[in-house]
Structure 1
Amino acid sequence: MIATEQYTHPAWYLIHCKAKQDERAEENLLRQGYQCYRPTYRHERTLRGKRQTLSDSLFPGYVFIQLSLHDNWAPLRSTRGVLRTVSFGGQPVAIADDVISHLQLREHTPSSESLLKQGDLVRINQGSFAEMEALFLTMDGDERVVLLMNFLQREQRVKLPLSSVTKL
């Protein structure tokens, strides 16, 4: 009885996608009627001089798919963007539902991180000021920030690459 339930009950599996084609694979699988999930995360980046929030795959090159063992798996092999099903010993490995639920919950929980605003406290991650904190003043061009730091008993303005700071 347990084997029959496992055979017909849908579970989550992992699809390995072709290089940089996980979004394409997800679109094509959804178009074929499969239930898919591609976890994403949001991050900030400066594009054309403007700070933008982008969404990228949390696991680049992979998409989760929900199937039962009795479903037709054959179309997966010829779906554009799909490379193979992740398997061990020739058998696809089911992923626990609570793992997927946890990923979905984290993805839909609003992030406390937003675009930098004047007066935001930031931490410098690299360079000679690494691990120091400063106040964000403004953007300086495409990829640089102007910060206000307390350094040598004085407030100093410092310009650093945007990639070297994170909001606290």
Structure 2
Amino acid sequence: MPTTDTPSAIRIWVAAYVAANRETAVRDAAEARAYPALLPTGLVEVSHARRRMLVERPVFPRYVFLGVPEGASWYPLRAVPGVLGILSSGQQPRAVPKRVVGLLEEAIAANAFTRTAEAAFAAGEAVKVRVGSAELDAFVERVRHTLPGQRIDVVFEAMGKRHRATVPLDHVRAAG
């Protein structure tokens, strides 16, 4: 959820290391103190008590990106409840490049961090399947979302014939 309408007003972005499962609270507390915050999240399909559900989870667990406005000090960020530290080099915080923050904001807007089989691929889509250190051209035939380990059915051609295979979702990437 991008919080900055004018990224040029931000002098630097820093990565704050936060207490476990406190990312949302840190984001809210920083924003309440007028520090823009960026917390990339995505929907992840999880199974709990034999029930599948979509849960919003941080893309970078235990990290929140905080903007330091022009003319403001980064030092008060250390006092935000839940912040354990700021990624630093010596006494100075390491700045996250504005380009990286912009790419993260674009990815959030495009829902790129949602990791469900249905969101990742559509039937008929061209994909690459990782087999060991090689990649194989294939097409998605059907999306299967059985847990644990989401799987996807693909069709590929080998030795002049069409073959079907069911592979884990993390072995498949878009062909483009």
TM-score w.r.t. the length of structure 1 is 0.64
Identical-residue share of aligned pairs (%): 18
| Cα separation, partners in 2 of 1:46 and 1:163, compared to 1, 3 Å | farther
Q: Given the superposition, is the C-alpha separation of residues 101 and 155 from structure 1 closer, same or farther in structure 2, using an over 3 Å criterion?
A: closer
- Alignment deviations for residues 49-90 of structure 1 (CA, whole Å, 9 cap, x no partner): 989796643x4433232336655944742512x112333333
**Any conservation in 2 of the 1:13–1:92 contact (CA below 8 Å)?**
no
Q: How do 1:125-164 residues align onto structure 2 when only pairs under 5 Å count?
A: 125-127=130-132, 130-142=134-146, 143-164=150-171
Aligned to 1:120: 125
CA, structure 1 residues 18+164, in 2 after alignment: closer, same or farther (shift >3 Å)? same
Distance 2:167 2:20 in 1: 33
SS of residue paired to 1:122: strand
Counterpart of 1:3 in structure 2 is: none
User: Larger C-alpha radius of gyration, 1 or 2?
Assistant: 1
Task: Find the aligned partners of 1:65 and 1:24 in 2 and give their Cα distance.
Answer: 13
Counterpart Cα distance in 1 of 2:111 and 2:23 = 24
The alignment covers a number of residue pairs equal to 154
Conserved 8 A contact 1:12-1:64: no
Q: Which residue of 1 aligns with 2:62?
A: 61
Q: Describe the shift of the 1:75–1:152 C-alpha distance in structure 2 as closer, same or farther (beyond 3 A).
A: closer
Partner of 1:12: 12
The Cα shift of 1:95 comes to: 5.2
Task: Point out where structure 1 has 5 or more consecutive residues left out of the alignment.
Answer: 1-8
Q: Residues 122-154 of structure 1, C-alpha deviation per residue, up to 9 Å, x if partnerless?
A: 1112349x4011111113451222211112321
Give me the TM-score of the superposition, normalised by structure 2.
0.62
CA change 1:115–1:104 in 2 (3 A) is: closer
Counterpart of 2:34 in structure 1: which amino acid?
G
- C-alpha contact (below 8 Å) 2:121/2:143 kept by paired residues: no
Q: Pick closer, same or farther for the CA change 1:16–1:127 going to 2, 3 Å.
A: same
Following the alignment from structure 2 to structure 1, what is the Cα–Cα distance between the partners of residues 137 and 53?
A: 21
Q: Give the AA of the match of 2:174.
A: K
Computed over aligned residues only, the root mean square deviation of the Cα atoms, in angstroms, reads 3.9
1:6 match: none
Q: Structure 1 residues 117, 23: CA separation in 2 closer, same or farther (over 3 Å shift)? A: same
Compare 147-156 and 21-30 and name the one that shifted more. 21-30
Stretch deviating more after TM superposition (91-100 or 23-32): 91-100
| Gapped regions of structure 2 (runs ≥ 5) | 1-8
